[in-house]
Amino acid sequence: MSNGNSVVHKSSWPWRVAASVAVAAVTLGGCSSADDGKAAGARSKAPSKSAAASGSPSAAASASPSGGAASPGSPFKANPAKVPGTKSRAAALAAAVALKPQEWGADFQAQQQAASTPATVAVLDEQCRWERRPLPHSVLGSLSRYSEIPAAGGKGELKVSAAVTVHRSVRDADQQLATTLEEPLRCRQQQVRTDEWISGLISNATPYGQGQNTYADDQVVEMGKYLTGKREQPYYWYVTRLGTVTLAVSVKGAEGYSDKELVTLASNADASMLSRLESELGGNN
């Protein structure tokens, strides 16, 4: 970045992201179980599985098949020559942006499965189970990296993930945000692994220009509980879109970690990947 304003903007990202998520937390926290049916009923009136369902102001612009162009009002304009158009370039971008364990913090290390299977993408199936499937036509590349802080010193095992998905077009990327927003309505409880679940899920979208979102085209925050055995901890998942690329950060809480620590961890990770993505795509905002 070449000007002082850009430096200030980037350095303030973690706090702006955290503020945006804090607003979402208040909004989501106000949804009691008694309100769930009303919320589901209201959402069901919107076009299911459509870009419009995200509530994003970029929905109309994303109807264009152009993959590299930023929509009007976007916070960032990529260099079209650097927007991946092939699977090999998409894989390289995902590998450059997705956080490695040490980039989360000094105490982190790779989980036993350190990364996702190449040429696959995470999908929530009809039985509300997460699985990896071959890349659909709409996705050029996707990579997830899994990190953790092992249990020690009276604290539990803290697990996090960082994922980057490169889509063929803005419309395809926007569709992922719409689908993410709707999934808690379809699956309030989701199976992550054989012995891991997330439940009580609620989600909220913050398109660019709304709330505290001055950094991305769109963002969906999902909150709930992380269940393993009989233990229950907070769970946070941010999915953020910038152009044709979506970034996802998940944090599964553990004993000894406060909500504030978890939100800060996720916000910093999200801001770091956004900064990397802008650098890789050669924008000048």
- Give the residue from 285, 237, 211, 217 showing the smallest Cα distance to 10: 285
Residue 178: pLDDT above 70?
yes
The burial class, CB within 10 Å (0-12 / 13-18 / 19+), for 264 is middle
What burial class does residue 48 get, using C-beta atoms within 10 Å of its C-beta: 0-12 exposed, 13-18 middle, 19+ buried?
middle
CA dihedral sign of residues 272, 276, 278, 284 = positive
Helix (H, G, I), strand (E, B) or coil at 1: coil
pLDDT surpassing 60 at residue 253: yes
State whether residue 107 is helix, strand or coil.
coil
- Model confidence at 215: pLDDT above 60: yes
Please write the tens of the pLDDT for every residue from 190-199: 999 889 999 9
The closest of 256, 247, 272 to 94, measured between CA atoms, is 247
Encoding tokens for residue 36? 């769930």
What pLDDT digit, counting tens, does each position of 53-97 carry?
Answer: 334 434 333 333 344 444 457 899 999 999 999 999 999 999 999
3-class state of residue 142 by DSSP: strand
pTM of the model: 0.78
Residues 268, 246, 216, 7, CA torsion sign: positive
Average confidence (pLDDT) over 203-224:
94
Of 109, 250, 130, 238, nearest in space to 194 by CA: 130
CB atoms within 10 A of CB 113: 11
Beta pairing partners, 148? 109, 159
Q: Identify whether the C-beta of residue 134 lies closer than 8 Å to the C-beta of residue 142.
A: no
3-50 pLDDT, tens digit each = 333 333 344 444 445 555 554 544 444 333 323 222 222 222 233 333
Distance CA 171, CA 281 (A): 18
Q: Pick the residue with more confidence: 4 or 228?
A: 228
Better pLDDT: 231 or 163: 163
Q: Cα 192 vs. chain centroid, distance in angstroms?
A: 16
